[in-house]
Amino acid sequence: MNNATWEFEKKLNYEFKDKSLLEMALTHSSYHYVIKENKALHNNERLEFLGDAFLDAIISEELYARLPDVEEGTLTKMRAKIVCEETLAVCGAKIDVGNFLKLGRGEEKSGGRRRESIIADAVEAIIGAMFLDGGYDCAKKFVLSLFGQAVEEALSGKLHTDYKSEMQERVQGSSQKPLKYRVTGTTGPDHDKVFYVDLFLGDEVIGRGRGKSKKEAERNAAKEALERSDKFVF
């Protein structure tokens, strides 16, 4: 067991019996290497697929148990807030996933260790790996520990709003004009780039945002548009 694996297992508060599962969970698709015995390309995408399904199930079970009188539609929206990319990335930062990832040179240079989508995918892959290594109860305990704060914030209505979805729903209900996000510029080096996005309703700019990723900048543009919604007509 190398020092990095040992250090990361301490952050997870879990020791893998099969270390190769953890190694695979931390290997991004840009980091290509081939297992000579079967020529299979190993990365975390299959584990991510498994972890995504398991995470949905555990959060659904938790919300179902704790909110016995809440209808399905509300439970679905609440779950979507908890298992979204933003929350996954926040949870990944708690266990410092970015510093333990295996990335290709291009992703490394372009700031992949801090990219929300990559960190979110790795968190799901880790959940999938833990499910295979330790079983249902072990993985469930990890999920509820890591996502506990997000669950409590969702239950109290304090978890972040999905501004883009809310904006889309607002427009669909009251306007025929198309909603479009457009990157207007970037600043900073590749490993620490800042994106600037304008949100258009038809030909009118209704919101502007910035962020460390295009998605973050788009979210912030949608948030500004919602905050200024009394200033324009949908």
Contact between residue 217 and residue 182 where contact means Cβ atoms under 8 Å apart: no
Compute the distance between CA of residue 7 and CA of residue 11 in angstroms, rounded to an integer.
7
Q: Residue 197 burial by CB count (10 A; 0-12/13-18/19+): exposed, middle or buried?
A: buried
**Catalytic member of 23, 48, 52, 218:** 52
Query: For the chain, what is the largest distance between any 2 Cα atoms, rounded to a whole number of angstroms?
Result: 64
Catalytic residue list contains 52: yes
**Catalytic member of 48, 62, 116, 124:** 124
| Residues identified as active-site | 52, 124
